[in-house]
Structure 1
């Protein structure tokens, strides 16, 4: 699920939090880092199971409506197209999902089911729902495309969910795009012959987890040395004038250049420029690009870049 850029962001957030709290405790920061990464799995499960809870809550609503003493004809014979949706049923029956929920003890919707009702109300008020319920079609493709659009257009951008996630875990807001993209991809790939939904691994492989640990440790433990590398290259900038987040980004980027032999310099610079655009000031990416470009050229001229493999410089 995680890509290298998001790992870099998590390390950056950890280092920034430590700097704000004036902490240099290696173990405490590392614990925070990996808890923050592991919590992405909880967010993924919450977003995915919002669909399961919508189906479950609507099923309960239809059952209660049928039991009314003076139930209308429509209530006695409701349109069950939503609750019988093949994708929603596959999600509800997924052993991989249910095992992950149990393992991670994810029960947020049981305590905060009002958010599920908010989603149901918004779905029912949409033209998308009206078209789906009255189309007269009962195909897998229609079921899948409807759920994909519900997730993409109603659930993923829902502001009330954003508020809930921000109040629950602040770092989740930065994780939402990653999680939502993963779920959209999974929903889109479902076929009538393969409705299996598997919870993805958090890391693609062991190397990615080790990359997170090493980037965090090497940046933190070599902070003084790394600061000198860019402070000397910015004579017209007082170090106090450089944004805190920019100093962290520069440290991490220089650390990668010097201490990660398998990562191409161009990849390092491009990754941190994109992070700066998203997390720092409007002019930061230009400032950081200039510094990293000059530093990389100086390192290359002085043979300081110990890169292994072709095309890594």
Structure 2
């Protein structure tokens, strides 16, 4: 479910948190912090998907509320509830893994019913929704499109919704891009995620190994990085930049199946996205120079991932 790039982000965030802690860490604390990072991502992802289903299902609640008025109008008695039977919606509702995660993580406690109602009412006023309910058939493309429309046009672009997420999930700012990618993939292929195992065993070993290696090999990586800084004072370099460079050097030396070019490109991208505007070019130069030295010294022993 989570890519290696997402894993690098989580390891980076964990290392940054550890670096900025005032007190020294206890044995096992770094791994617990990393596990917490992934659990927060899982809760956010589960909640966002659950919220989508609540908006679509509100059509039935709306019909029931309007029909129960003291003097309901003809319009009140003829609310179209087609979307409540949407085939993609029901694939999500019948996804045992998702429903189990909803129960286990207790995300229902964050649900803002009034916000669900407002977004549903906003949906009913859109041309896309009006066109959808006029269609008699349930074409798979149309069924998926209206659910994607709810997410792309009414949720993820809504200040009210994103503020709601920020209020309840302190990892929203860090995880928004990752969560967005995962949700779009899930809507395209519902039922394909195992929400109980957000990381495969292989990917957890990569995450755990990268975190532990950076911590254990800090002196070695700094010995290789500092000579390349030239006129830069190591103490004045952004903490995040130094962490990214240490992670990159560790991948060069201790992760034999990852091609150096992949490592360099990954950390350039992370630096551009999470650090300063100049960080990408800076980290590119440092890691590229270190890589060239390692090749000259025959210290790189990469092997094919497939082998």
Kindly tell me: are residues 231 and 22 of structure 1, through their superposed partners in 2, closer, same or farther at Cα, counting changes over 3 Å? farther
Corresponding residue of 2:39: 38
Compute the displacement of 1:187 (Å). Answer: 2.4
Q: How does 1:78-89 map to 2 (within 5 A)?
A: 78-89=79-90
TM-score by length of 1: 0.89
1:227 is aligned to 2:222 = yes
How many Å separate the matches in 2 of 1:305 and 1:45? 41
Corresponding residue of 2:261: 266
Q: Is the 2:59–2:81 Cα contact (8 Å) retained in structure 1?
A: no
TM-score by length of 2: 0.90
Structure 1, 286-295 or 26-35: larger mean CA deviation: 26-35
Give structure 1 regions of 4+ aligned residues with deviation exceeding 6 angstroms: none
Q: Please list the CA deviations of residues 104-125 of structure 1 after superposition, one character each: whole Å capped at 9, or x if unmatched.
A: 2222344x32332232233233
Kindly tell me: are residues 73 and 55 of structure 1, through their superposed partners in 2, closer, same or farther at Cα, counting changes over 3 Å? same
Q: Is the 1:165–1:173 Cα contact (8 Å) retained in structure 2?
A: no
Kindly tell me: are residues 95 and 127 of structure 1, through their superposed partners in 2, closer, same or farther at Cα, counting changes over 3 Å? same
Given candidates 295, 298, 303, the residue that maps to 2:290 is 295
Q: Is the 1:8–1:212 Cα contact (8 Å) retained in structure 2?
A: yes
Q: Please list the CA deviations of residues 6-27 of structure 1 after superposition, one character each: whole Å capped at 9, or x if unmatched.
A: 1011010011111112455252
How many Å separate the matches in 1 of 2:279 and 2:103? 43
How many Å separate the matches in 1 of 2:251 and 2:24? 20
Q: Is the 1:94–1:198 Cα contact (8 Å) retained in structure 2?
A: no
Q: How does 1:50-65 map to 2 (within 5 A)?
A: 50-65=51-66
How many Å separate the matches in 1 of 2:140 and 2:280? 46
Corresponding residue of 1:193: none
Q: Is the 1:14–1:33 Cα contact (8 Å) retained in structure 2?
A: yes
How many Å separate the matches in 2 of 1:311 and 1:302? 26
Corresponding residue of 1:98: 99
Q: Note the residue ranges of structure 2 that are not aligned, 5 or more in a row.
A: none
Kindly tell me: are residues 168 and 211 of structure 1, through their superposed partners in 2, closer, same or farther at Cα, counting changes over 3 Å? same
Kindly tell me: are residues 155 and 161 of structure 1, through their superposed partners in 2, closer, same or farther at Cα, counting changes over 3 Å? same
Structure 1, 209-218 or 234-243: larger mean CA deviation: 234-243
